[in-house]
Chains A and B, each alone.
Chain A
Amino acid sequence: MLRQIEGSKAVADAVALCRPEVVCAYPISPQTHIVEGLAELVKSGALEPCEFVNVESEFAAMSVAIGASAAGARAYTATASQGLLYMTEAVFNASGLGLPIVMTVANRAIGAPINIWNDQSDSMALRDAGWIQLYAETNQEAADLHVQAFRIAEELSTPVMVCMDGFVLTHAWEQVDTPDQEQVDAFLPPYEPRQVLDPAEPSSIGAMVGPEAFTEVRYLAHARLMEALDLVPDVSDRFAEAFGRNSGGLTRAYRTEDADTIVIALGSVLGTLKDTVDELREAGLRVGVLGLTCFRPFPADAVRAAVGHARHVVVLERAFEPGVGGIVTQNVVAAAPATHVHTVVAGLGGRAVTKASLDGVLRAADRLPPLTFLDLDRTLIDRELGRLAATRRSGPTAENLLRDLGAVASRIG
């Protein structure tokens, strides 16, 4: 059914259609509306049987999901930012135990300085946690990816993270087509755990493993993730067959076939990029966009096939690795070593990524340095560097920058 609906509510409804049996949540912006939606559905009896557990921290949220999943229940939680980092230990544990938990990450920056707005620093920080990571471009995709995520997770016994840009998607109202319960039931069979806590057949889950087998365990976890490179597009195709729309797969190319310059990105910024590309095409520039829906496992073959012919690849990063540069870039370089790859870090902490800025970057793709920060205010930085050089004391950098911008009325400190 086509509805004008908030992204978070669309995700809550999609998750509910997947019949989770345990939902646990701790509030954190911009994830809150998702679990509020589920709380409403559980409390009103619209979603049952399902236990909604209000936990005392994100660490507990993932831990409750671990217990529930190991006991054979379909388990779901959602988080963002500091919350994802706070639950990190349990996030790794869930994949190590092979538990097919599905979690939404409403992408948000990591502090300090504290910042509640969107970038992808949180999920990117957990790229090595052994979870499959899917990134939604639109709210329709966000909703659809959750239905696919449960199926992928449970077929592989591996947890799946569905990442959607905080506020940009979670709080945006747009048309989303929500499927019927019957359709989802036909697509998603009940959860059959690979190993389960059952008094009828006692098993020990989570035993200690020493050096003699740990490498093999890790290899098998890797092999299972690599299987996802076949399964993710397969599930996406089946989804398209059942629901009549394609939302998923590994990558999604837009006007890349004959492109000299291809921009690679993840998430909601792809919409702006496609508009920019359309305008540049009208101006006669051969540019295209490659969206990565699946980031873990990294679809190296698909990326190489899509960008191999391009003269320049620009990776638009919504997070970065201080001291190194682009995170996605490193994966792209490894996949397509013969290509000129440039990193453009954009939209950190919610800064708008505008068509005008993207237009400038794409027109200058052949002259871009290896690492560019989009719309970086050099004047602000130079002033602060000057101040830092003048004194040995570390200072309130963020506050100084705000004062320079005139964003604070009075002098701080």
Chain B
Amino acid sequence: MAVTPIKFYQTGSFAVGGRLLGADQRSVQSDRQRINSIDCGHRACQGCGEALGARYALDAAMRATGNRMVAVNATGCLEVFSTPYPETSWRIPWLHSLFGNAPAVATGVAAAMKAKGRTDVRVVGQGGDGGTVDIGFACLSGMFERNDDVLYICYDNEAYMNTGVQRSGATPAAARTATTPAVGPEPGAVFGQGKNVPMIALAHEIPYVATATVADLRDLEAKVTRAMEFRGARYLHVLVPCPLGWGSASHDTILIARLAKESGLFPVFEAEHGEIVATSKIRRRVPVEDYLRRQTRYAHLFGDRPRTDVIARIQAQADRNIRRYDLLGED
């Protein structure tokens, strides 16, 4: 299904559901008859970007598969807040094994379904950035390299939030975490580290790679829907702000995700078979400072002696993204 671009920011329930659009263009969430993948009553924090992203992504996957899907979850916030035994928020078959093996477990499920001739049942693996970028990375790369029939979704909140905000391989430069404290001459996470897993996924030349944020849930749904049109390994990297870990207001989750995209810090694109086929253009370019100022993890850059040098380096990263992904101009 081709999705019509809509020229308004998502701000309220009409936009969220897409009820201003034709029936076939509406969001999964606009349908009151939909089956939730993850039900209400779970224990995520207020304003949790991951809970929002997971629900949109998996509901869209359910629609795309006619509810014939299995989810495999890495250890992390999403697993902990959704399944305190004997309660579960999952209305889909769901398996949690370990922190670092979700891609391989998903491969196992996909292999079992193939052996059993259940080609109708699709598999989604999911985890946070720690489980994906760091400890589960070998399994993820193996899954890509074998082109296993799994959509893997990384909900990136840029640190280990479940264990109390420690640095991960996805933590951005200068961000304060419990293990990259805002002290010393180079406060926060150091520059030049961190993994760009979407680009690494691209290098595997798997059928589909995309990035998205919870600021554009319609785009997220469209990407999940598109991903399910492919067979083989697919990767979706979703930026999900964490109010607790980022030190942002619970009601600012969507806004902050949007600022990450509109500043150029988080490029949103889509790639097929190793080639970028679409990028979401910046609509109102903002300086990175607008993004950084709303998060206490960057508060040390704006103290009595503002670190304009560090902010300039972050701005340079955003500018490089804008050039590299050609983020300005018309969609």
Chain A residues with a Cβ under 8 A of chain B: 21-22, 24, 49-51, 53-57, 59-60, 63-73, 75, 89-90, 93, 97, 196-199, 201-210, 213
Contacts and interface: CB of A to CB of B under 8 A. Distances in A.
Nearest to B100: A59
A152 B26 CA distance: 52
Contacts of A71: 70, 108-109, 112-113, 116
Contacts of B114: 51
Contact of A22 (B83, B88, B90, B115): B115
B95 A67 contact: yes
A69 B108 contact: yes
B109 A53 contact: no
A243 B230 CA distance: 48
A6 B148 CA distance: 33
A90 B101 contact: yes
Most-contacted residue by chain A among B69, B79, B112, B113 (CB, 10 A): B112
Contacts of B91: 202
Interface string B183-210: 0000000000000000000000000000
Interface residues of B, number: 46
Contacts of A68: 108-109, 111-112, 115
B93 to A, nearest CB: 4
Contacts of B310: none
Interface stretch (B135-143, B249-257, B323-331): B135-143
A209 B85 contact: yes
Interface string B95-135: 11110110011111111111111000100000000000000
Nearest to A206: B96
B62 to A, nearest CB: 9
A22 B138 contact: no
Interface in B66-89: 67-70, 72-73, 79-80, 83-86, 88
A208 B112 CA distance: 25
Contacts of A22: 108, 111-112, 115
B178 interface: no
A51 B85 contact: no
Nearest to A52: B111
Contacts, number: 161
Q: Which of B68, B93, B113, B141 has the most chain A CB atoms inside 10 A of its CB?
A: B93
A385 to B, nearest CB: 41
Nearest to B90: A204
Nearest to A57: B138
B146 A54 contact: yes
A63 B108 contact: yes
Nearest to A203: B93
Contacts of B95: 67, 70, 197, 204-206
Given A207-B85, A208-B79, A56 B145 contact: yes
B271 to A, nearest CB: 23
Contacts of B92: 199, 202
A67 B109 contact: yes
A52 to B, nearest CB: 9
Contacts of A51: 111-112, 114-115
A208 B80 contact: yes
Contacts of B107: 53, 55, 60, 63-64, 67
A311 B72 CA distance: 56
B97 A93 contact: yes
A93 B139 CA distance: 16
A66 B102 CA distance: 10
Interface of B: 67-70, 72-73, 79-80, 83-86, 88, 90-98, 100-101, 104-117, 121, 138-139, 141-142, 145-146, 148
A202 B117 contact: no
B205 to A, nearest CB: 17
Contact of A97 (B97, B139, B141): B97
A67 B117 contact: no
Nearest to A51: B111
Most buried by A among B70, B98, B115: B115
A53 B98 CA distance: 19
B98 A197 contact: no
Contacts of A199: 67-70, 92-93, 121
B139 A59 contact: yes
A208 B84 contact: yes
Nearest to A201: B93
Contacts of B142: 55-57, 60
A53 B107 CA distance: 9
B109 to A, nearest CB: 4
A92 to B, nearest CB: 9
B93 A197 contact: yes
Given A59-B139, A64-B107, A207-B83, A49 B115 contact: yes
21 contacts: A21-B116, A24-B111, A51-B111, A51-B115, A63-B97, A63-B139, A66-B97, A67-B72, A67-B97, A67-B104, A67-B112, A68-B109, A71-B70, A90-B101, A93-B98, A197-B109, A204-B96, A205-B96, A206-B73, A206-B95, A207-B83
A59 to B, nearest CB: 7
> What 4 A-B pairs are tightest by C-beta distance, nearest first?
A67-B108, A56-B142, A73-B112, A63-B104
A63 B106 CA distance: 9
Contacts of B83: 204, 206-208
B98 to A, nearest CB: 6
A384 B148 CA distance: 52
A72 B116 CA distance: 9
A159 to B, nearest CB: 13
B98 A213 contact: no
